[in-house]
Amino acid sequence: MASNEWVGDVDLLKHIHLFSLCCSADTDVLSVCQESQRNLEAQIEALLNVEKQMRLAGDVAGTKKAVCDILQLCFEAKAWKTLNDQIMLLSKRRGQLKQAVTAMVQQAMQYIDQTPDLDTRIDLIKTLNNVSAGKIYVEIERARLIKKLAKIKEEQGLIDEAADLMQEIAVETFGAMAKTEKIAFILEQVRLCLDRQDYVRAQILSRKISPRVFDVDPSKEKKKPKEGDAVVEEAPADIPSLPELKRIYYELMIRYYKHHNDYLEICRCYKAIYEIPSVREDSGQWIPILRKICWYLALAPHDPMQSSLLNATLEDKNLSEIPKFKSLLKQLVTMEVIQWTTLWNEFKDEFDNEKNLLGGPLGDKAAEDLRQRIIEHNILVVSKYYSRITLKRLADLLCLSVQEAEKHLSDMVVSKALVSKIDRPAGVVCFQVVKDSNEILNSWAMNLEKLLDLVEKSCHQIHKETMVHKAALKV
């Protein structure tokens, strides 16, 4: 019994010894941490004194070095809270030099991607954002910080907050920012507005970019800046090139115009993407885009611009690679009635296949709108061949009921796509335009002028023949 008690006492002594060792180890670690903290504070204090002397002496290089050394010390010690505190402290010192603040912000931005966790990263970005707020000499750095913070918010699913953050910055006024970086920033603003379905603001922001800016040849040598001109910074490596930005811009505009079902503008956007050299060189890219151009030309309401684009697309040699779509466009320019059932049976599979290609499906209303465009085309064809036609005959040509034919015809007249009058009691449609007295007199005058010209030409020809024959008889 006594031996068992002794064994228990030994175990207890072992536990006590281990506990004492742990406590001593913790004490050593704590003391080391405290010692390193004291050393860091002492080093920072010494550098702060140096920074003060340099700042008061107006030594730009010395002040910048002292400020950067303080930040480097905090970074190497992984003292992130101290780093934030020192950034705020240094930026608020009396008479702080602009160059020192710029160097401090630029150096601290390099530490953002090396932060241990997301909260630390956000705190550092917010600190730098507060320091750079309202200072023109670090406006570019502030824009980049806001972009980083907005990306973090977007990854967290806070689209509205990200969009609000980006809208605070107006980069179009930044003279020192590279053109490609400005465009990329504005495109990011537009994308976030489209993601939050704020289409009005997206349109306003998109107008800050002129499409002509994408037509500038980047291969031309840059002009050397004259003395006194603002120095433009180089764009960061992650900023896309001008042709890539052009594609991004028009893809965003396609998203905007799809919301309003503006088919002609969507077609023009695809046409602009189609003209990019890198797209024209790759058949895997331009064939789906050319298909989209053909579809949206067919879906767009008939007007002069649509007609011009339609004829220009038909002249494209690449269209022979997709003969079905070439025949579709030819049917639209040929003044013949198109049978909707036959056309839909021929192109239904192609229509359904668009959702698997670049740009996605054409939209929920696309099939209905395509049928509407075919009906409008047929009415225009009938108006070219007939001056007067019965409603029943018109309905038969359009493969519609009399009520549907009358409705579509009325809609075209209201939209001023066609001039027509309907005599409903008689059931007759008249496509003739009623002319007033002045127009009739002018047409008569023009006809008489043409007739007199023909008579005069005939007299000249008769006189010429007479002279030729007289000369032959004399010989």
Strand order in the sheet with 428-430: 388-390, 428-430, 421-423
Fold classification of 386-449 (topology level):
Arc Repressor Mutant, subunit A (1.10.10)
Q: For the segment 169-201, what is each residue's pLDDT rounded down to a tens digit?
A: 888 888 788 888 899 999 999 999 999 999 999
- pTM of model > 0.85: no
Q: Where are the domains of the chain?
A: 35-133, 281-385, 386-449
State the pLDDT at residue 26.
45
Which regions in the chain score pLDDT beneath 50? 1-33, 221, 228
State the pLDDT at residue 424.
85
C-alpha 389 chain-centroid distance:
48
State the pLDDT at residue 21.
42
Tokens (6 digits) for 186: 């504005």
